[in-house]
Every structure is written in structure tokens, then in C-alpha cells.
């Protein structure tokens, strides 16, 4: 039992790493730029399927990862073309629907095995499950580190200030001569690429993916991580991802080990819903508030 | 294509359109007044189906009476939930000045709460009504089956009553006044808070009815409402948000497009799962070319 719990714990840590990447990608779009992408799962799915199909064809890991990021970015670009000119509510509906349509296409056209999904050989072949999980933790957190640093750099650069300006007041940003359409599209592409990386890692770790793994609830989970942790704060959304994952895994473990009159998984979903409404009411800025922009220090004035 | 039963497809289009009409007229009412798309609308529909299912299993009355009681209960239960959700969640959020995105997230959260409460109460996935419907029969070129005709009749009744409500009654005038200019309505002594509560009750109630008819026609599951929500959004946007007549016209346009589209797609060997894709394409095209939808066609409503 203790061994089983330990394995569950390690599994949870891997998933925290993977979901944190997805949360960082949504944070770029929503937290910093104010874009309501309600189809995050679609970009995650594009990354996962690209990885799975290429890995099955025997392509090497690095190429698979790059291809996943690129294909997700390309899909992001495609969706951004009609979507980004729209108001937040329309953007939400369009992105949400894009995800559902993409899932329908994958299911019905037999892409990656259609309904049955596709199996992927993992890249780590160690003797024990523990070693495999530990290696996966290393891998997920290495990529998380890269995405985190990238996102921090973008957010704290002059570019990041434009992103915030678009979030706060589009008209004002436009009146300063910024082509907000182009900026939004670029942010969308960056966010999608990061989501694609997350999806690829998810596919690699899960060893089997199917259309049913990418339901709209996953999008909602990622939103929950961002809303709870603190939109506009990259450390915050990682914290949010950790809290949400701990919740989810505890419910799953509870279901396995304890007999309750209610299904803990259902209760968990209900509690998530209540939690997010409470966050909207009492702490709309999340657990960690948005960090102020850190401009580079000014040079010391030269004394003549 | 030669043997395609076009008359029957037309009937199905009207039937789909009727269900969309009920649901979209409801959605457009809250969307127009509260200014955000309510994603929990899906679960208001699902709840209607489950309420009817529960009542139908409970009662042992003659069929027409059972159906009437089911419709009434679906309307009241979903409606009350809509009223409560506005009173407890959306009203306070709107007063706090929550952003559009926060309201959408909140409505999604509410949707998940309702959906998983339904799953907890009725586990086991798909359900279906066991009402003793009379056998389907052929009348002229049509094959008629009562559960197919019910939503058409209901949409007719609901459409006419809504029209009368909106144009002939005080609360209807208050609703239209609040929709067009909330500040002015408030200044002229309209209790806009009560108007909003009424619209949420009506909206969720109609959604519950729509859900009930989908459930009666075939089997239903906890994700039933969600599965048609995207089509309902397409109808709402095509009709023009907040436009009553627009939603009615759009409901039949989308209903026809989906039913004919599925037949055409089948010619290319594509599955009927692509039904949603048809309304999605219409949605995108409308948003890009004519974001105000059909509103202009129905000026003065």
C-alpha cells in the first residue's frame, strides 16, 4: 500500500509539471494579454497527437518535441485568423468549438487510431516503475523550467508591457500605434506552442492517448489552475496547477482505498465548481497577485 | 440522392429547429440582458430531461397528462434553478463588476456543478424514457411519431406566448426596456433587478423544456445539453444576440442546414458527428461577415 501510494505521489508530481506548462501557456494568453481561449485542450491535443504519431513512426524524441510545438503553433495561427478580431465572448465560443470539431475529426477520420486512440512507447526504459517516474519528473520539470523562463522573459520585456496594455485597454494600446491584431496573434502562437509541448509530454508519459482524454473539462481544469493561482503571475499558476492536481489525485486515491456513499470523483468536480465561484467572488486576483513589471535598472547617472 | 426522403428531412429540420428555437430564444434573453453567454444553459437543458424522466417514472397517469406534467415540472425545476443561479451567483458577480471572462468562467463552473450533481443522482450514463408512445405512422409523405411532433407544438405555443408576453404585458415591456437601456429603464421606475430575475427564470425554464423534448425523442445522458450547446450558440449569434425574432428565424435556418448538411456529408462518406461542424462553420462566417446577425432584418423588436 505504501509503495502504491508513493507511486501515486510520483505520478502526481509528473502531472503537476505537465499541467503547469499548460497553465503557463494559458497565462500568457489570458493572464497577460486578456485573451479568452476556451479551447486550450485543442492545442494540448494537437501537441499530444503530433508527438504520438511521430514517436510511433520511430522519430527521435527531440524532433518529436519540436514538431509538436510547431504543429500546435500552426494550429494556433490558424484559429487566430478568424478568432482574434472578435470580442471575448465570441472568441471563447469559437475557440471552444474549434476544440470540439478537432476532436470530432480525430475520432471520425481515424487519425491516430480514431476512437481507440494510439499507444506510444515511452522514452525511458528502466527496470523499476520508480526510476521511470523519477526520470519523467526530471523531464517534465526541465521543460517546465524552459517554458517558465521563456514566459518570464516575454512578460517582463517591453513586449510584455504591450501585452498588458492590450489586456487593460485595447483602444489605448491601438492609439499608441500598436498593431494589436498582430500582437494578439503572436501571443496566441506562443501560447499554443507551449501548450503543444505540454501535450507532447502528456502523450509521452501516458503511453496511450485517445480523443476521450481531451474533453472540454481539461480546458476548464487549466483555467481553474490559472484563476486560482493568480492570472498574470507565472509562479502563481504553477502553484494553482499543484493545488488542483493534488485535489484531483487525492480524489482518485480516495476512490481506490476508501468506500464512500458518494463517488469522490463527482464530489471533486462539484467542489471544483464551487471553489472557482468562490475565487471569482472573494479573490479574483488568485492566490498570488500579479507581480509588478521589473524593468531593467537604469544606469547610474554619470557625474561630470 | 434520388431516394432521399426529402419530406421527412424537412420534418426533422422543423423539429430540430423547434428545439433550437426553445433553447436559443431562452439563451438570447439572458445573453441580451445580462451581456454574457451562459455556459450553464447546457445543464439547464440536461436538468429538464432528467426532471421529466424522474416525474415520468414516478407517475402512473394517462400519457397526455404525464407529458403535460413532465413539461410543467421540467420548466419549473430548471426555471427555479436559473432564478437561484442569478440570485446567488451571477447577480452578485455582475454587481461587483466582474469581467466578461469571469462571468463565463463562473457559468462554466456552475454548469459542472449541476452536471456532476446529476451524475451523482442518476449514475450509469445514458437513460431513456419508457413512455407508451403510439406507434409511428405514415401520413402522406411524412412518417409521424409523437415525440417528433411534440417539440414543434411546444415551440409554437412557447413562441406565441413569449411574443404576447413581450409585447402585451407590463413585465414584457419592462424586459424590452431593460434590454435596450438599463439605466433609462431604472430611471423610469422599472425594477430592473426583478426583470433580470424573471428573464433568468423564463430562460432556464424554456431550456429545461427544450432538454426534455430532446430526451423524449431518443436517449439522453448528462452531457446531452453540452452536446447541443454549440449549435444553440450558433443560432443565438446568427439571430443576433438579444433578438427574439432573429433567434426564431435562425433556429430554423440552422435546423435545416444541419439536417440537409448531414445528408450531403453522408454522400461524401462523412459521419453524422459532423452536424456540429456545420453550425460551427455558419457561426464563424456570421461572426466574420455580419457579427450583428439577423438583427437588422427585424428592426424594431
The 10s digit of each residue's pLDDT in A49-84 is: 999 999 998 889 999 999 999 999 999 999 888 878
- Best residue in A35, A92, A109, A167 for a mutation probing chain B (most B CBs within 10 Å): A92
- How far B254 CA sits from the closest chain A CA (Å)? 16
Confidence of residue A145 (pLDDT cuts 50, 70, 90): very high
Chain B hits for A281, Cβ within 8 Å: 92-93, 96
pLDDT tens for B217-250 read 888 999 999 989 989 999 999 998 888 899 999 9
The pLDDT score that the predictor gives to residue B301 is: 45
What pairs with residue B144 in β-bridges? Answer: B137
Q: If you average pLDDT over every residue of chain B, what do you get?
A: 89
Q: pLDDT grade, residue B7 (50/70/90)?
A: confident
By the 10 Å C-beta count (0-12 exposed, 13-18 middle, 19+ buried), B129 is classed as buried
Contacts of B268 in chain A (CB under 8 A): none
Residue A38: pLDDT band with limits 50, 70, 90: very high
CB contact burial B6-34 (16+ within 10 A = b; e otherwise): eeeeebbbbbbbbbbbbbbbbbbbbbbbb
Interval A9-14 mean pLDDT? 93
pLDDT in tens, B53-108: 999 988 888 888 999 999 999 999 999 999 999 999 999 999 988 899 999 999 99
Q: Within chain A, where are the H helices?
A: 2-26, 40-56, 61-83, 88-108, 129-155, 158-168, 170-175, 180-206, 216-229, 234-257, 264-282
Residue A108 with chain B: CB contacts under 8 Å: 270-271, 273-274
The continuous run of DSSP H or E covering B175 comes out as helix B170-180
Residues of B in contact with A86 (CB under 8 A): 287, 291
- What is the three-class DSSP state of A175? helix
pLDDT at A122 over 50: yes
Contact A108 B288 (CB under 8 A): no
pLDDT level of residue A293 (50, 70, 90 thresholds): low
Chain A residues with CB under 8 Å of B101 CB are 30, 34, 36, 88, 92
Task: Reduce the DSSP state of residue A288 to 3 states and report it.
Answer: coil
**Closest chain B residue to the Cα of A34, Cα to Cα:** B101
Q: How confident is the model at residue B205 (pLDDT cuts 50, 70, 90)?
A: very high
* Closest CA in chain B for residue A280: B102
Distance CA B288, CA B283 (A): 9
Number of A–B residue contacts, CB under 8 Å: 113
Domain ranges of chain B: 6-123+164-298
Higher pLDDT, A186 or B273: A186
Mean pLDDT score across all residues of chain A: 89
Contacts of B13 (CB under 8 A, 6+ apart): B252, B255, B256, B258, B259, B260
Give the minimum alpha-carbon distance from A6 to chain B in angstroms, rounded to a whole number. 29
Lowest mean pLDDT among A22-36, A244-258, B63-77, B91-105: A244-258
Count CB-CB contacts under 10 A for residue A176. Answer: 9
Domain B6-123+164-298 part of CATH 2.60.40? no
Looking at the complex, report in whole angstroms how far the Cα of residue B301 sits from the nearest Cα belonging to chain A. 23
Q: In the 8-state DSSP scheme, what is residue B87?
A: I
Q: What is the mean pLDDT of residues A32-37?
A: 92
Amino acid at each position: 500500500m505504501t509503495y502504491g501510494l508513493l507511486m501515486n505521489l510520483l505520478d502526481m508530481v509528473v502531472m503537476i509539471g505537465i499541467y503547469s506548462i499548460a497553465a503557463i501557456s494559458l497565462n500568457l494568453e489570458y493572464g497577460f494579454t486578456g485573451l479568452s481561449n476556451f479551447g486550450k485542450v485543442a492545442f494540448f491535443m494537437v501537441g499530444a497527437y503530433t508527438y504520438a504519431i511521430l514517436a510511433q513512426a520511430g522519430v527521435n524524441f527531440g524532433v518529436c518535441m519540436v514538431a509538436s510545438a510547431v504543429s500546435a503553433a500552426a494550429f494556433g495561427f490558424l484559429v487566430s485568423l478568424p478568432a482574434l478580431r472578435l470580442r471575448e465572448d465570441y472568441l471563447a465560443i469559437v475557440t471552444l468549438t474549434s476544440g470540439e470539431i478537432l476532436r470530432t475529426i480525430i475520432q471520425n477520420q481515424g487519425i491516430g487510431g480514431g476512437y481507440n486512440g494510439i499507444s506510444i512507447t515511452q522514452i525511458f526504459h528502466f527496470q523499476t516503475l520508480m526510476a521511470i517516474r523519477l526520470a519523467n519528473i526530471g523531464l517534465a520539470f526541465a521543460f517546465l523550467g524552459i517554458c517558465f523562463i521563456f514566459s518570464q522573459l516575454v512578460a517582463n520585456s517591453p513586449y510584455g508591457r504591450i501585452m498588458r496594455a492590450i489586456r487593460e485597454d485595447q483602444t489605448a494600446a491601438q492609439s499608441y500605434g500598436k498593431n494589436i491584431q498582430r500582437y494578439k496573434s503572436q501571443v496566441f502562437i506562443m501560447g499554443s506552442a507551449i501548450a503543444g509541448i505540454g501535450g507532447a509530454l502528456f502523450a509521452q508519459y501516458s503511453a496511450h492517448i485517445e480523443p476521450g482524454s481531451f474533453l472540454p473539462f481539461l480546458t476548464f481544469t487549466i483555467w481553474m489552475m490559472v484563476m486560482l493561482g493568480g492570472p498574470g503571475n507565472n509562479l502563481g499558476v504553477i502553484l494553482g496547477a499543484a493545488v488542483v492536481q493534488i485535489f484531483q489525485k487525492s480524489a482518485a486515491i480516495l476512490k481506490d482505498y476508501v468506500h464512500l456513499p458518494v463517488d469522490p470523483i463527482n464530489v471533486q468536480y462539484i467542489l471544483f465548481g464551487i471553489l472557482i465561484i468562490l475565487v471569482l467572488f472573494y479573490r479574483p486576483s488568485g492566490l498570488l497577485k500579479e507581480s509588478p513589471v521589473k524593468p531593467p535598472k537604469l544606469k547610474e547617472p554619470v557625474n561630470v | 440522392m434520388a431516394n432521399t426522403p426529402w419530406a421527412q428531412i424537412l420534418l426533422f429540420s422543423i423539429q430540430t429547429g423547434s428545439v433550437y428555437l426553445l433553447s436559443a430564444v431562452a439563451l438570447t434573453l439572458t445573453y441580451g440582458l445580462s451581456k454574457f453567454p451562459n455556459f450553464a444553459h447546457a445543464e439547464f437543458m440536461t436538468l429538464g430531461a432528467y426532471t421529466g424522466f424522474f416525474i415520468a417514472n414516478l407517475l402512473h397517469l394517462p400519457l397526455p397528462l404525464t407529458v403535460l406534467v413532465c413539461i410543467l415540472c421540467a420548466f419549473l425545476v430548471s426555471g427555479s434553478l436559473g432564478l437561484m443561479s442569478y440570485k446567488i451567483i451571477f447577480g452578485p458577480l455582475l454587481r461587483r463588476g466582474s469581467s466578461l471572462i469571469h462571468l463565463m468562467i463562473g457559468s462554466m463552473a456552475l454548469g459542472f456543478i449541476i452536471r456532476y450533481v446529476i451524475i451523482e443522482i442518476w449514475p450509469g450514463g445514458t437513460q431513456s424514457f419508457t413512455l407508451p408512445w403510439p406507434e409511428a405512422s405514415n401520413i402522406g409523405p411524412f412518417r409521424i411519431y409523437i415525440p417528433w411532433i411534440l417539440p414543434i407544438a411546444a415551440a409554437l405555443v412557447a413562441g406565441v406566448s413569449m411574443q404576447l408576453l413581450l409585447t402585451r404585458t407590463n413585465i414584457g415591456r419592462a424586459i424590452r426596456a431593460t434590454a435596450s437601456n438599463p439605466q433609462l429603464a431604472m430611471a423610469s421606475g422599472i425594477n430592473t433587478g426583478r426583470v433580470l430575475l424573471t428573464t433568468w427564470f423564463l430562460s432556464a425554464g424554456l431550456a429545461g423544456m427544450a432538454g426534455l423534448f430532446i430526451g423524449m425523442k431518443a436517449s439522453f445522458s448528462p452531457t446531452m445539453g453540452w452536446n447541443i450547446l454549440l449549435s444553440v450558440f450558433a443560432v443565438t449569434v446568427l439571430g443576433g444576440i438579444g433578438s427574439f425574432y432573429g433567434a426564431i428565424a435562425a433556429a430554423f435556418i440552422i435546423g435545416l442546414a444541419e439536417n440537409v448538411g448531414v445528408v450531403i456529408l453522408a454522400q461524401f462518406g462523412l459521419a453524422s458527428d459532423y452536424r456540429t461542424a456545420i453550425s460551427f462553420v455558419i457561426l464563424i462566417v456570421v461572426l466574420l461577415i455580419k457579427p450583428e446577425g439577423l438583427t437588422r432584418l427585424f428592426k424594431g423588436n
